[in-house]
Amino acid sequence: MTCNSHLWTVLLLVCCGVGTSDARYIYIHPFWVWIQPEDVSVVSVDTKRDLNGRLHHTNQFKTDAMVVRRGQEFLLDVKLSTTFDPSLHSISLELRTGSRPNTYERTLIKIPMVKYLDKIKWGMRIVGKSDSTLQLKINIPARCLIANYELRIVNNLRKVLYTHKQPVYILFNPWSTEDEVYMPNASHLEEYVLNDQGVLFQGSANHISPLRWYFGQFEKISLESAFALLSTTKIRERDTARDISRRIAALVNSNDERGVLQGRWGSDFTGGTEPWAWTGSPAILEEYTKTKQPVKYGQCWNFCGLTTTLLRVVGIPTRAISNFNSAHDTDGNCTYDRFYDQNGEFLSRMSRDSTWNFHCWSDAWMERPDLPPGYGGWQAVDGTPQERSNGRYQTGPAPLRAIKEGNVKLKHDVRFLFAEVNADTVYWSRLSPDQEFRPIRVDRKLIGQNISTKAIGREQYRRVDITEDYKYPEGSALELITSQRALHLTNNKIVSDTVDDLKYSLYAQNEVMVGKDVVLRLHIKNTAVNNRNVQIMVGGHVLTYNGIAIKKLPMRKTHEMVHRQTDTYHTVSFAASQYLSLLKQSPRLRFHVFSSCSETSQIYVTETIVTLGRPELVFEQLPSYWKKGEELRFTVRVQNPLRLELTDCVLWLDGNIMESRLSLPQRNIPANSFHQVNIALVPQYEGRKNMIVTFSSKQLGGFRGSSFIDIRS
């Protein structure tokens, strides 16, 4: 360029390719001088909560924060201090999470302005303008880190123009084919991601009863708690659905990292809440957040409810599972071993394995790229602290296919879960103290019965049997092959079936209501061609629901001649007084028959479990619908089935009809009588709402009831 040295010639140039598109220089002979781009400020940001919520299936979350799902675009309206001119102004977005955000760990995300959005990359583009407001569309790639982020708007010099007050939560997206938790069935998504009401199942294999649970994944406390827990986790331990589900399994219990809930399976719940008094996850999370201490106390269904809630919060499709006659294999040999001495006494010190009448855990839906092809889909995840896995009390995720096929070496904890649903029960005994214990009977059908989950549908609370998701039909060739594979991989030997010409069965004549005597029916079948002289011993124990013996019941002994090829029946009774003092432990009764034959030296053992039923709480004077914002009054009827007074009585009310759980202390309830509880509340939300009530006292707890009501504007 030629310039008169005596003249100042000023030339304004826009330098493309140097700095950013709005970089400006001024030429004042003989120098180029940098001129700061015209600054712009951000007046406000509209996160389009309702629109984004509908598009991302997050509009049910009770929060003012933005909640979106990865693998999808969302919209923002940004109001500036002046009309946006791309030749003069520059803005971009940043998302930051954690104490030290950085691009390497993907905790610092810089979102550039682009002409076209690429679904596998971060990017934003202007899709509309209105005066000084920009309408932006932002793409979230499907491999984005699941986290709560701080949203910033910056200029080209990284100067912060705006920081959003509320966090931005980014969840898994089971609606996106690019996401590892993609689930193609719409009704399954509605149930396993969006349904905040559920039911678990409890009792015994012969007497299954529903247990309503409020998952409440859209409550503000559930959302904030899930991400607060994940924020304590290293990034490498929360990079995939597998990682996150495993961490949540560890963090819902307090055994290692002072997580949410402290387990207790005894009778003393002093200083805390009895496990059966909890009816939903939000109430537990509220107490945990308030006290900053593990909540006292929980048992398996509480851990299952919490795990299901937290996994649904972050967007992983999850269902709650109940397994009946669930084995706890302590030595990892994939069998459930029971030892009896020659006198028919159960040897608890040798029988370290146990069975839970029922045990609850969660199934989470995800891909498993860390395993051979075909092991994606449902994965068992259990937050109940039973055994350590990699140094922590956590179980899963374990592919259901691996459990079903006995591939017990696959990750994570397939061996433990296989035993829970498919271990052979091996009874061991001996004829005299100087002999070795030997297997006397194998029961291949006891463990893993009626594996259950809730039917699909918001108001479908019926039980669906999914046992065949976990195991092949009992007695089938495939089931035998599976057991042999599991035992081979654990260096255990399969125990052959014994041939017995005397067979016994023991069962309760009816479901036993708490406070009543237990009447057992003993059936003896002699298939031999000769008569048999047998010694029969019937005994039992009072158990906690997870199979721990807390009291021995008196042994009944008899000698009998059982005639050839005949059936003989006996009735055996045990008085209610044998278990009444232990009702606070929600006990079950396990009875066994131990028999020895003098002619053949055969020993036979069989067991049965009796669950004690409780009266259901009954709603009265409850209308089918009510008006939002008006006081609703109704009553709940409580029955005392015992021949003694109930004291220190409390009724709890929970559900999505209310902001938080109510605790209502009650007067003493006389023996064998009814009591009415008057309740008044003001519904604040419209829609089909659920109420769950539970009752407890010093002497007896675990009474439950539930009902629906339509709340209208």
Which CATH code of 2.60.40.10, 2.20.25.90, 3.20.20.140, 2.40.40.20 fits the domain covering 502-613?
Answer: 2.60.40.10
pLDDT value at residue 13: 39
Query: What is the domain partition of the chain in residue ranges?
Result: 42-171, 186-490, 502-613, 618-711
Is 287 assigned a ligand-binding role in the annotation?
Answer: no
The region of weakest confidence among 22-31, 55-64, 397-406, 456-465 is 22-31
Q: Which residues pair with 607 in a beta bridge?
A: 592
CB 150 within 8 A of CB 164: yes
Give the pLDDT confidence of 369-385 residue by residue, as tens digits: 999 999 999 999 999 99
Residues 6+ apart with CB under 8 A from 92: 110, 111, 112, 113, 124, 153, 154, 155, 156
Give the pLDDT confidence of 340-351 residue by residue, as tens digits: 999 999 998 899
Closest by CA to 654, choosing from 281, 155, 396, is: 281
CATH 3.40.50.2000 applies to domain 42-171: no
pLDDT value at residue 29: 58
The region of weakest confidence among 144-153, 264-273, 324-333, 588-597 is 264-273
Q: CA-CA distances (angstroms) from residue 383 to 210, 233, 245, 276, 506?
A: 21, 16, 10, 17, 34
Is 422 assigned a ligand-binding role in the annotation?
Answer: yes
Average pLDDT over residues 525-531: 93
pLDDT value at residue 298: 96
Closest by CA to 344, choosing from 110, 558, 494, is: 558
Considering the chain, what is the average pLDDT of its residues? 90
Active-site residue flag, 22 = no
**Region 618-711: CATH code:** 2.60.40.10
Q: Are strands 424-429 and 335-339 parallel, antiparallel or unpaired?
A: parallel
Rounded Cα distance, 257 and 263, in Å: 13
Q: CA-CA distances (angstroms) from residue 248 to 232, 235, 453, 457?
A: 11, 14, 21, 26
Matching fold, domains 186-490 and 618-711 = no
pLDDT value at residue 36: 52
Q: Which two tokens stand for residue 245?
A: 């589900």
Rounded Cα distance, 537 and 558, in Å: 7
Q: Does 641 score more than 70 pLDDT?
A: yes
- pLDDT band at residue 5, thresholds of 50, 70 and 90? very low
Active-site residue flag, 300 = yes
Give the pLDDT confidence of 655-680 residue by residue, as tens digits: 888 888 889 999 999 999 999 999 99
Give the pLDDT confidence of 230-248 residue by residue, as tens digits: 999 988 888 999 999 999 9
Question: Residue 403: helix, strand or coil by DSSP?
Answer: helix
Active-site residue flag, 359 = yes
pLDDT value at residue 582: 83
Q: Which of 300, 334, 360, 597 is catalytic?
A: 300
pLDDT value at residue 38: 61
Average pLDDT over residues 638-661: 91
Buried b (16+ CB within 10 A) or exposed e, 358-373: bbbbbbbbbbbeebee
Tell me the whole-structure pTM to 2 decimals.
Answer: 0.89
CB 199 within 8 A of CB 211: yes
- pLDDT band at residue 23, thresholds of 50, 70 and 90? very low
Q: Which two tokens stand for residue 546?
A: 């997870």
Closest by CA to 301, choosing from 421, 191, 196, 202, is: 202
pLDDT value at residue 1: 43
The string of DSSP letters for 84-126 reads: --TTT---EEEEE-SSS--TTTT-EEEE-B-SS--TTS-EEEE
Q: Does 39 score more than 90 pLDDT?
A: no
Rounded Cα distance, 396 and 402, in Å: 12
Closest by CA to 675, choosing from 686, 689, 683, 664, is: 664
- pLDDT band at residue 512, thresholds of 50, 70 and 90? confident
Give the pLDDT confidence of 207-228 residue by residue, as tens digits: 898 999 999 999 999 999 999 9
Rounded Cα distance, 234 and 232, in Å: 7
Per CATH, the homologous superfamily of domain 186-490 is Transglutaminase-like (3.90.260.10)
Is 648 assigned a ligand-binding role in the annotation?
Answer: no
Is 474 assigned a ligand-binding role in the annotation?
Answer: yes
Q: Which two tokens stand for residue 564?
A: 């050839």
Q: Which of 359, 412, 541, 675 is catalytic?
A: 359
